[in-house]
Every structure is written in structure tokens, then in C-alpha cells.
Structure 1
Amino acid sequence: MKKMLALLLVLVCGGCANGLLPQEDADATLRTDRSKYAAGEAATLELANTSDGSVGYNLCFSQLERFSSTGWTPAEGTGTTCLGILLSLKPGERATGQLPLPADLRAGTYRVSTRIEESDGDAERVSTEPFTVR
């Protein structure tokens, strides 16, 4: 029971340590289309603006992160080349994108995080719920 409680604490605080806000405190939500994937599949991402103002985003800069004993860390070999264009999402709007998972991705628990810019110029990171790669 103590080990389970400690793991739960790490999961809850892991996002805080990486500067990620809980979904209810963020100006946007980021979701995947499924909770389980096989290596080599693509995850569909949906970013939804839940704020009263526009937010800037570029899902191409989303980062795949793996959970380990040290918390959430960037997954190796998952970088992409992107155009540095900031897109705008109005209040209530949604945007979707694809994130290909590498064919040699190790089994484990992952999440995706992305950066958004608020209308006042502040930036924050939002993340998906954890999902499994088998």
C-alpha cells in the first residue's frame, strides 16, 4: 500500500516538477485519441482552447515524454523538424494533429506535452493523460 501511495504521489507531482499545469488550471486541454498504442502507430492529438481568449500553439512542437523512476523525461529519438509558425486557436476551438510513435519505442507509460501562449503573452505547457505503449 505504501509503494502504491508513493507512486501515486510521484505521478501527481511529476507534472508539477516539469512546469506542467493540471488540466483544470490550464487555458487548454490536450488529449490523445486512445489510452493504448503499439510502437510505430500514430497518436491523434486534440488541443482544445478552454480560455476566454485566443491561445497560440503549434502541435508540431509537441514532445513525447516517458515515465520512469525519476519522473517524466523526454523520450529518446522522437524529435521532429518543424516550421516555427505560431497558430491561433480562438476560445472554444479545437485543433488536431498526428504524432507518429517510433517503431522502436520501448514499452512503457508515456504522455505528450505541448506549449501554448496565452493572449497576455504568458506561456504554459499542457499535457495529455498518461497512455501505454506496448
Structure 2
Amino acid sequence: MAKLVTGGSGFIGSYLVRELVRRGEEVVVFDWSRGGRISDIEDRIKVAQGDISDWSQVMNAVKENHVDCIYHLAAMLSLPSEANPWASFRVNVLGSMNILEAARLFDVNTVVFASSMATYGLGIEKPVITDTTLQRPTT
């Protein structure tokens, strides 16, 4: 069974992909861009180039690769989102819905969603962020 990493060629995603490969996992990267930070390991992974907001592309990536775990890191960050709210909605909301629906339809055991430090806002008083840390998003 494969591990699907959305946004796997991004900054955080590329580190996750490398760690999964190091552990011997079968890794499928689903991303709109190809190469970049993971071009040197493309011979050890499968890259499914696609648009997270396209329902059929997401469904096909999950079904065809027999995915049992999805790491959902595909996202449009704050500044680009503010400049283009519609694109942000398509990627961040519709894309997440597509991932959750694919997981439901194809009995994916695990979905891991990576959020953002921005959800905690400014002025965090604790040195370590836990599940109980109060969130005060600024965006």
C-alpha cells in the first residue's frame, strides 16, 4: 500500500517524502508542480502531477495507487491567498474536501492534515505548542 503526499514537492512536503522513502515506504507525490525539491529522488517515488481541486484527478491518484494513508500538505499560503481568494478556496477548501472524499470512498485508513503555525497567531506564550494551546489566527 502507498502513502500519498499532497504538496509533496513543497518545502515541508519534500522533507516528509524523503523521510517516508528513508523508511522504505512506497510514496506517491500528488502536486501541481513536478521536480523541484524532490527531483533527485524521483526515481524512488511516483509523481502524480495534478490539481488538488480537480475531483477526478484526486480520486484517480488515490484509487490507482492503492493508497492507505494520505498526508495532506497541499495548500495555498497567506499572501497568495489574499491576492487570489478564489484560487485559495479551490486549493484549501475544495482540495481538502476532495482528499476527505477520496479517503471515504476508497477506505483510506489514515489522513494526516498539516495545518500552519499561523493558526496560533502572534505572541505565543508557551515555549512548546501542544494540542491545548489556544489558537488566535491573524489571517
TM-score for both structures, normalised by structure 1: 0.27
Higher relative contact order (CA 8 A, sep 6+): 1
Higher strand proportion: 1
TM-score, normalization by structure 2: 0.26
Question: Which structure has the highest helix share of the two?
Answer: 2
